[in-house]
């Protein structure tokens, strides 16, 4: 396993850990559970964002090495990150207004974007490993 693969595995393990920590069986369909759900999704989204930023930092150090595919993936990752951040902001605002259903939806959406960003980032790193 080369260095890059080890790095990718490390990132994957960290992401895995984040997801595991937040996995559970608290079902959010019951309206009375919206607050718990919002808090849970808030943590999941924020934790995942930390990992995505970590991947982005690593890619920032290596750069795209002039590879157009890597460049495209980094652009995508940055774009997804930005989209996620918009939802995070909306979610935080909803939390302050105690609109937990909206907050849940926004945090959830943010998390979806962060996962997309992570996918693009990991693909970019995989390509860099082959260069």
Partner 1 sequence: MTRIKRLLALLPVFLLAITPVCFTSCKNSGSEKEAGDQGTAAVDIPASVEEIAVERGLSPKDVIAALKTYIPSGKYDDYVMFASGGHSGQVFVIGVPSMRLLKTIGVFTPEPWQGWATGSAESQEILSEGDMPRGINKKLTWADVHHPSLSETNGDYDGQFLFVNDKANARVAVIDLRDFETKQIIKNPNTISDHGASFVTPNTEYVIETTQYSTPLPFDEYAGMDEYKEKYRGLATFHKFDREKGRIDESQSFSIELPPYWQDLCDAGKKVSDGWAFCNSINSEMATGGINEGNPPYEAGISQREADYLHVFNWRKAEQVFKEGKAKDLNGQYIIPLDTAIAEGLIYFMTIPKSPHGVDVSPNGNFIVASGKLDTHATVYSFEKIMDAIKNNKVEGKDPFGVPILNFADVMEKQVEIGLGPLHTQFDNEGNAYTSVFVESTLAKWKLGPPDYDGPDAWTVVEKIPVQYNIGHVVCAEGDTVAPDGKYCVALNKWSIDRFLPVGPLHPQNFQLIDISGKNMQLLYDMPIGVGEPHYVQMVKADKLKPWLVYPEVGFNPMTMSVDPEAAAIGNERIVRNGDTVEVWMSVIRSHFNPEHISVKEGDKVIMHLTNVERARDATHGFAIDGYNVNLSLEPGESSTVEFTADKPGVFPFYCTEFCSALHLEMMGYLLVQPTQPKS
- Contact residues: partner 1, CB under 8 A: 5, 8-9, 12, 15-16, 19-20, 23-29, 37, 67, 69, 73, 104-105, 108-109, 112, 115, 118-119, 122-123, 126-127, 129-130
Q: Which is nearer to partner 1, 78 or 102 (CB)?
A: 102
Cβ at position 54, least distance to partner 1 in Å? 14
In the complex, least distance from residue 97 CB atom to partner 1, rounded to whole angstroms: 16
Closest distance to partner 1 from the beta carbon of 96 (Å): 19
Query: Residue 123 Cβ, how far from partner 1 at the closest point, in Å?
Result: 5
Could you tell me which residues come within 8 angstroms of residue 72 by beta carbon, excluding any fewer than 6 positions away? none
Of 16 and 50, nearer to partner 1 (C-beta) is 16
């Amino acid at each position: 396993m080369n260095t890059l693969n080890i790095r990718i595995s490390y990132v994957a393990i960290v992401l895995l850990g984040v997801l595991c920590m937040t996995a559970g069986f608290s079902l959010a369909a019951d309206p009375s559970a919206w607050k718990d759900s919002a808090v849970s999704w808030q943590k999941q989204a924020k934790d995942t964002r930390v990992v995505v930023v970590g991947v982005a930092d690593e890619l920032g150090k290596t750069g795209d090495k002039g590879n157009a595919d890597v460049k495209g993936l980094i652009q995508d990752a940055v774009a997804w990150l930005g989209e996620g951040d918009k939802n995070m902001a909306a979610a935080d605002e909803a939390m302050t207004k105690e609109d937990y259903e909206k907050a849940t939806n926004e945090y959830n959406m943010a998390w979806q974007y962060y996962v997309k960003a992570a996918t693009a980032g990991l693909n970019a790193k995989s390509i860099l490993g082959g260069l």
